Amino acid sequence: MSEKKHMAVAIDGPSGAGKSTISRILAKELGFVYVDTGALYRAVGYYMLSNNIDPKDADTVVAALTDLTLEMRYVGGEQQVLVNGADVGGYIRTPEVSMAASAVSALPPVRQFLLDTQRRIAATENVIMDGRDIGTVVLPQAELKIFLTATAEDRAQRRFAELQEKGIATTFEEVLADMQKRDYDDSHRAAAPLKQADDARLVDTTGFTLEQSVATLKGLVEEMMA
Ligand code: DC
């Protein structure tokens, strides 16, 4: 077995801080694989909703995991998440699935169910992995850990613009309220709550353009590689 060591950049933070957009750009520039772990939780949430299971009904959600096969694959450099063989990428970005993902992510058996998939890819590729607990739980040995944040208003504004672009009907107030609820739930759950790792660098992107955010993180990656 190869002992080749792979590098990992862990990017954690609340929703809408720009983690996925920035990580995708950085990964491309560095030739790393971008791993969006939120998509895995979203796929579990989506599976529950499509089977008429209340994502907050812990016992039923956990029992349903035995019928769920979840795979992650890369096609043309883009991550796909397959639920029982079907690519669910087109269905997991709705506000309803966001809430379902947050609810199922509070359950330790769900987190355990997804842990292997996340660690396996980091063992075979150089990765930029984003999520809530990457620096604290999934890849505590990551060479670089970044905690990316911004004010709730700033994050809600970005997410609102994204949803509008996709034609998903909502209001700014709704997006802000959902974001505040999700922030609270994700940071206050008992299992792997969202929190900055002791050795993570804090980056606040409030008021930054995308270019400024990318440049700031790139600087940290270059510092790490120097
Ligand atoms: O990053 P996102 O908005 O796509 O994540 C969706 C939900 O999944 C989020 O509310 C919390 C959960 N999540 C998590 O608990 N741990 C992760 N590593 C990634 C996401």
Structure token digits, residue 1: 């077995």
For the CA of 133, the closest atom of ligand 1 is 18
Q: How far apart are CA 187 and CA 170, in angstroms?
A: 25
Give the pair of three-digit tokens for residue 187: 């940071």
Spell out the per-residue pLDDT of the chain, length 226, in tens.
Answer: 445 688 999 999 998 898 999 999 999 999 999 999 999 999 999 999 999 999 999 999 999 999 999 999 999 889 999 999 999 999 999 889 999 999 999 999 999 999 999 999 999 999 999 999 999 999 999 999 999 999 999 999 998 998 899 898 899 999 999 999 989 999 999 998 999 999 999 999 999 999 999 999 999 999 988 8
Q: Report yes or no: 143 and 162 within 8 Å, Cβ to Cβ.
A: no
Which one of 34, 105, 121 would you pick to mutate in the ligand 1 pocket, going by the greatest count of ligand atoms within 8 A of its CB? 105
Ligand 1 pocket, residues with Cβ under 6 angstroms: 15, 37-38, 41-42, 101-102, 105, 131-134, 182, 186
> How many CA atoms lie within 13 Å of 110's alpha carbon, on the beta-carbon side?
29
**Residue type present at position 26:** L
Q: How many residues does the chain have?
A: 226
Pocket test for ligand 1, best of 23, 35, 37 (most atoms within 8 A of CB): 37
Give me ligand 1 centre to Cα 155, in Å.
15
Question: How far, in Å, is the centroid of ligand 1 from the Cα of 215?
Answer: 24
Report yes or no on whether pTM surpasses 0.75: yes
Distance CA(143)–CA(134), nearest Å, equals 12
**Residue position matching structure tokens 């609270």:** 184
Distance 105 CA to ligand 1 centre (A): 7
